[in-house]
Amino acid sequence: MKHEPCLAYADGEGRVWDFPDIEPAFRTGRRFVRVDPEELMPLPYGSYLFSLPGRYPVFYNRRNGDFNHIEVSYRGDEICAASAFLSSAYLRTYLPAYITKEDAPVLPLWAYAGLVVIDGEFFVPGVRVDEDPRSDPAIHENDDELRPAIAAEKKRLPENRLVRQLSRCATGYRCLCARNFFLGRYEAPVPTTIACNARCVGCLSQQEDGAPFPASQPRLDFSPAPEEIAQVILRHFSRVERAVASFGQGCEGEPLLRAADLAAAVRMVRESTEGGTININTNGSRPEGVAALIDAGIDSIRISLNSPTPEYYARYHRPVNYSFDDVLRSLDAALNAGIFVSINLFFLPGFTDSEAEVEALRGFLGRFPVNMIQTRNLNLDPDYYFDMIGFRDSESCGVLDLLRLLREIRPDMRLGYYNPPKETFRAVQEIS
């Protein structure tokens, strides 16, 4: 028989413990809520635990019917809140509940989920949104296989700088997508672009001087030639069934800024093969660049959004020399051309599922019938995000209810996590 959830907390050394007989709480937006055991799942394999410095855990006080916080353990030691970062293909449904001290640091670029303990095991509020086998962390526990594969590809294409870049990504930064190229499977990343025309608050590869957290990894520092790009894509397509190659990675800027070069590379690939899926992950800032790439032969596009509203979009993405209207024009161009169109929607509980955002998303999907929403956790301190965009807190329906609503209003639209191969474009993935 499963017992009740207990509060999870971290000690001064970052170890996570449970506080017996204290009912934990979660957060949605800026609001504390009680934990519903029916919305919990065991901590997925490959997830991480984090302590949240300068933040005291919040619990639900049954006697008073309100929420309080704890500052010390039952031994009298000062404690802090704890959280989980879920492995890929899982979407968090609630945030960790805490109050923040005045001197607390801004949290680094991770997606923080609530965490509780039941019978000595960790549980989280989350749901699996993609059953694709590439989500299994175990397939990346193969360094002994990876090293000779990298050496072989470097020998095969010794002058290709992009291959050398991907080798650094696969080893130094442990990029799971980069490992796919060398191991001959799934989706291969194709980073190409140094510059960017957005200044996203949560940019993974470049943060302004004075930012309260560092970038997650260095940005690409050279511009591979079209020939180098085509070589990498053709190599991947030559040995992978249902292969995908994607421009627009976390280690680069905005690929549409090199649309002409990328189009040249795509034409080289398409002169050799019609196989494989060529995808671009982009901010959609240059509709003319999108059109050029479609003409060259790309198969799919994924456009990132934190919100379907112009105000919140601009405050997070902070566009330079483009507007939200340009993004909408890019969506129009892609949909009218008939390629597979996804939006990469950054989910944050209490924001994405808030009443105003849900209504805006419903209207957006009515105007732009995209083929897929990639439901991705937003990697950012939630309070920093709310402050930066000027979020007006409102009632929320809950992330699970939002997913159900999306399935109801667009049963033909896929919900998932990964860029699909074109062989499956017509398939609709069900969310349990």
Burial label for 298, CB within 10 Å (0-12, 13-18, 19+), is buried
**Average pLDDT in the chain:** 95
Average pLDDT rounded to a whole number, residues 151-160: 97
Q: Which residue has the higher pLDDT, 362 or 427?
A: 362
Q: How many CB atoms lie within 10 A of CB 118?
A: 16
Domain ranges of the chain: 7-128, 136-424
Provide CATH code, domain 136-424.
Answer: 3.20.20.70
Q: Where are the beta strands (DSSP E) in 4-47?
A: 6-10, 16-19, 23-28, 31-34, 40-42
- Cα–Cα distance, 217 to 199 (Å, whole number): 16
CB 135 within 8 A of CB 88: yes
- Residue 72 DSSP symbol: B
Strands 244-247, 277-282: pairing kind: parallel
For residue range 297-351, what is the model confidence (pLDDT) as tens digits? 999 999 999 999 999 999 999 999 999 999 999 999 999 999 999 999 999 999 9
For residue range 241-283, what is the model confidence (pLDDT) as tens digits? 999 999 999 999 999 999 999 999 999 999 999 999 999 999 9
Return the percent helix, strand and coil in the chain, to nearest 5: 35, 25, 40
Render the burial of 161-189: b for 16+ CB within 10 Å, e for the rest.
Answer: ebbbbbbebbbeeebbbbbbbbbbbbbbb
Average pLDDT rounded to a whole number, residues 154-171: 96
Share of the chain above pLDDT 90, in %: 89
Q: Look up residue 394 and give its two tokens.
A: 């409102």
For residue range 276-303, what is the model confidence (pLDDT) as tens digits? 999 999 999 999 999 999 999 999 999 9
Q: Look up residue 164 and give its two tokens.
A: 């050398």
User: For residue 431, is pLDDT > 60?
Assistant: no
232-235-238-244 Cα dihedral, nearest 10 degrees:
-30
Give this prediction's pTM: 0.95
Confidence of residue 5 (pLDDT cuts 50, 70, 90): very high
Q: What is the pLDDT of residue 209?
A: 85
Confidence of residue 429 (pLDDT cuts 50, 70, 90): very low
For residue range 190-201, what is the model confidence (pLDDT) as tens digits? 999 999 999 999
Q: Give the closest residue to 303 by CA, choosing from 274, 333, 277, 260.
A: 333
CB 347 within 8 A of CB 377: yes
Q: What is the pLDDT of residue 428?
A: 54
Burial label for 326, CB within 10 Å (0-12, 13-18, 19+), is buried
Share of the chain above pLDDT 70, in %: 98
Q: Which long-range contacts (CB under 8 A, 24 or more apart) does 102-108 make?
A: 103/54, 104/53, 104/54, 104/55, 105/53, 105/54, 105/212, 106/212, 106/213, 106/381, 106/384, 107/52, 107/213, 107/381, 107/384, 108/213, 108/214, 108/381
Q: Look up residue 138 and give its two tokens.
A: 């175990």
Q: Look up residue 317 and give its two tokens.
A: 């993405």
For residue range 181-235, what is the model confidence (pLDDT) as tens digits? 999 999 999 999 999 999 999 999 999 888 898 998 889 999 999 999 999 999 9
